[in-house]
Amino acid sequence: NSMPLFNLAWKKRFSWDGRVPSLRDQALLPITNHIEFDNSIETVVHKISKDKKYKSLFSKAFNDDAVTGEKIGLALENYLLTLTSYDSKFDRAMSGKLEMTEIEKRGFELFMTEYEPRLASFGADCFHCHGGALFTDNEFHDNGLKPKKLRNEENRIFSTPSLRNVELTAPYMHDGRFKTLEEVVSHYTSSVHRSETLDPNLAKHPVQGIQLNELDQKAIVAFLKTLTDPQFQGTSP
């Protein structure tokens, strides 16, 4: 499943398993991946070198019209760094420009509240992995998914994606197994698969999940939709 491409300037490692150390390297990977472009850097360089328009663009960008794989990676990296998301309904509510609805506020409260029955705290515990302005800790976790057959998921620890614009980025999870946000929230409510590598923030919950009622599940989905930035919808506020 493809990962989102915004706010990558703050990401330290790339790909679901973090195997790629730089955005520049990540930008070139689809070219040679047999499931994606199934091509070679050399072939792409050759094709671009024959295009007069691209030669002119390379000359303007690098003061040299020679096309190389390194320059292609650098150009893609710099473009991706321009994709920043920071103007959602949630952001505007936090700056006092508008107010969220009651169900959105309830969802935010659940999102930011610990699940700790001993302290009579029954939140959804989302903030541990999806906290902060980016709505990700940019770390790697086992989030309780049952491994699928024929998949090499020995480690089963995957990058935490940002929840900004999550309404627009279906399907969900590293393998795209869930089609809707409702399915994702339902998973954390009652379908968490326990394993030796299960993240401690999930392992402390009841056997199958955080046991949210139907209304609270709807509230979390409503809050998540406030993280949509209109510029990534092709609209403006």
Span 66-78, pLDDT tens digits? 999 999 999 999 9
Q: What percent of the chain has pLDDT over 70?
A: 94
State whether the Cα torsion 137-183-191-177 is positive or negative. negative
CB 61 within 8 A of CB 75: yes
Domains 8-80 and 89-231 equal at CATH topology level: yes
Q: How high is the pLDDT of residue 150?
A: 39
pLDDT over threshold 90, residue 155: no
Over the stretch 32-88, which tens digit does the pLDDT of each residue have? Answer: 999 999 999 999 999 999 999 999 999 999 999 999 999 999 999 999 999 999 999
Q: Which CATH number fits domain 89-231: 3.20.20.70, 3.40.800.20, 1.10.3720.10, 1.10.760.10?
A: 1.10.760.10
Over the stretch 92-127, which tens digit does the pLDDT of each residue have? Answer: 999 999 999 999 999 999 999 988 877 778 889 999
Q: How high is the pLDDT of residue 200?
A: 83
Q: How high is the pLDDT of residue 152?
A: 47
Over the stretch 206-224, which tens digit does the pLDDT of each residue have? Answer: 767 888 999 999 999 999 9
Cα-to-chain-centroid distance, residue 23: 15
Mean pLDDT across the chain: 90
Over the stretch 177-208, which tens digit does the pLDDT of each residue have? Answer: 999 999 999 999 988 888 777 888 888 777 67
CATH code at 8-80: 1.10.760.10
Q: How high is the pLDDT of residue 237?
A: 45
The domain locations on the chain are: 8-80, 89-231
Over the stretch 138-153, which tens digit does the pLDDT of each residue have? Answer: 999 887 777 664 344 5
Strand partners, 14: 20
d(CA 153, CA 233): 33
